[in-house]
Structure 1
Amino acid sequence: MGRLVPAVTRALDILELFLDGDGTLSAPDIVRKLQLPRTTVHELVTTLAARKYIVPMPGQPGRYRLGVRPYQLGARYSEQLDLAAEGQQVARTVAETCDETVHVAILEDTDVIYIAKVDSTHAVRMVSAAGRRLPAHCTSVGKMLLASLPEPELTARIPDSARLVAMTPNSITDPGALREALAEIRERGLAVENRESNPDVSCVAAPVRDRTGQVVAALSISVPMIRWSEERRAELEQLAVKGAAELSEHLGHRSMA
């Protein structure tokens, strides 16, 4: 790796300060937060303002907010994003950590479609494929995605009169029972599938968000019952949350936590 350029690093440090608080800063704020000389900060702020990376706040002399240029760069980044490719990359990292099968899926009507998958190296593992479609209510990713829908949209997709197919004896087939399960998932921010799509497999899933905060996918970890336990479930839940957060960050989402 080549040498970092101090002036560029300091300019980027200034821009990243705008991610916190109310998104406005003065030169003294920057001096205090970054512990830089006032002359250096003045020169950097002047340069960033001249290039429209920051702009003066109307009616607040000496204060700045982000300008149009960061937005333009972010928009170009968003245009180039490929959810499947980004999902495959993150799924690979998660799978390398836990050595279990990892999926990323999206919701289409009342089904989930797997858009990325990385297999476990174990001889006993879940058999599936990217592109496969399954009933959302039978899977952890699907329940996570259904739980993220606004109530009117959820009702439109799965009305009380809906007939839900069963893939295993553990599948939820009653819309009312499904709504109760989704309410719990919504509260926890995590979904668990207990042998509902495959009698030999359980899964955990966490939501993936885009830059607007919208849930656009879910990431799951699938485990054969011979390796499943409550302790293992808790470990994998944390890993699924971490992986989903990483993928969300790739998509431009910024956690407020």
Structure 2
Amino acid sequence: MWTGHAVRVTLTSRTFEVLAAFTPARRSQRLADLAAATGLPLTTTHRIVGDLLRCGALERGPDGTLHVGLRLWEIGSLAPRGNALRDAALPFLEDLYVATRENVQLAVREGLESVFVERLTGRDAVTVMTRVGTRFPLASTGVGRALLAHAPADVQEAALALPVRRWTPHTVTDPARLRAALAEVRRTGVAVSDREVTPDAVSVAAPVRGPDGDVVAAVSLVVHSGAASPVALGPAVRAAALGISRTLGAPPSAVRNQLWRDTATAPEGAEREPPAPTAPPR
């Protein structure tokens, strides 16, 4: 994972490597699996696992396999970019879900990846590859492009320098085309990924701004390809993002700029998008 600086190997970093070896596809592992995944000696892995078991960060199942412990989940739930952001966003995400019954997602950027912190989905919603807590490269997804378009210049350059996986025949991998796509996100306030990750899904995303006006997250709506055009979905996604931004305390100037952009880029004859809804009583 890109961090922008060298990482010194310490006991703490090795401990985190062991924890990071658990993934959605590898939720339960044996000691030998962890040693192989991290490249650490078996004796070192055994010592680290013992410490993690004693503090509750790992737990051992009846069959002897290891999995992430409840204590680690309790600590992780305190992360402000996860739980606090999710609490502010959830009323708007729920409104968007109720209106569409499709996938509604919230993600933040960490390094050159997006981390999904919330996802609402319906029984008939299009299948997506993302889950809460998973990471995904920035370049191909709607939320990823919404985040990358507003990231610092060095982050953008680092992301564009990486090879982009061709998920489908529609995946944009050319750096020049990706630069143009990011410029379009900044111009319109909306990011679109049209069948670029799965061949039957279209993602429309918009950035969420925090108290200092910087983009801190992105919200997306992922629907069946052909169900609706990205142009038609954009206003609802932008409204949800603006509502979350207001709840987080984004400066009025940032909200006004987004509303102006919505009007300036609307098709000729289209009505101006109404202000973002306020959160319902809780």
Alignment check: 8 A CA contact 1:192 1:202 kept? yes
Matches within 5 A, 1:232-243: 233-243=230-240
Q: Give 1:124 shift.
A: 4.3
Alignment check: 8 A CA contact 2:88 2:247 kept? yes
The one-letter amino acid of 1:248's match is S
Residue ranges of structure 1 left out of the alignment (5+ in a row): 1-77
Aligned match of 1:125: 126
Aligned match of 2:87: 85
Percent identical residues: 31
Alignment check: 8 A CA contact 1:88 1:117 kept? no
Aligned match of 2:188: 188
Q: Secondary structure at the match of 1:137?
A: coil
C-alpha distance in 2 between matches for 1:243 and 1:124: 19
The one-letter amino acid of 2:89's match is G
Q: Secondary structure at the match of 2:139?
A: helix
The one-letter amino acid of 1:219's match is V
C-alpha distance in 2 between matches for 1:116 and 1:196: 21
C-alpha distance in 2 between matches for 1:97 and 1:83: 22
C-alpha distance in 2 between matches for 1:97 and 1:85: 20
Runs of 4+ in 1 over 4 A off after TM superposition: none
Aligned match of 2:225: 225
C-alpha distance in 2 between matches for 1:226 and 1:235: 12
Aligned match of 1:214: 214
Aligned match of 1:57: none
Aligned match of 1:166: 166
The one-letter amino acid of 1:190's match is V
Alignment check: 8 A CA contact 2:94 2:120 kept? yes
Compute the RMSD of aligned alpha carbons: 2.2
Instruction: Return the index of the structure with the highest Cα Rg.
Output: 1
The one-letter amino acid of 2:241's match is A
C-alpha distance in 2 between matches for 1:246 and 1:148: 19
Matches within 5 A, 1:29-108: 82-108=84-110
Aligned match of 1:111: 113
Residue ranges of structure 2 left out of the alignment (5+ in a row): 1-79, 257-282
Q: Which deviations, in whole Å up to 9, do the C-alpha atoms of 1:150-182 show, x marking residues without a partner?
A: 3233113433xx311121111121222211211
Give the alignment's TM-score, normalised by structure 2: 0.57
C-alpha distance in 2 between matches for 1:94 and 1:255: 23
C-alpha distance in 2 between matches for 1:86 and 1:126: 26
Moved more, 205-214 or 217-226: 217-226
Alignment check: 8 A CA contact 1:87 1:116 kept? no
Give the alignment's TM-score, normalised by structure 1: 0.62
Alignment check: 8 A CA contact 2:111 2:155 kept? no
Aligned match of 1:248: 245
The one-letter amino acid of 2:180's match is E
Alignment check: 8 A CA contact 1:158 1:175 kept? yes
- Count of aligned pairs between the two proteins: 174
Against the structure 1 CA distance between its residues 225 and 93, is the aligned structure 2 distance closer, same or farther, given a 3 Å change threshold? Answer: same
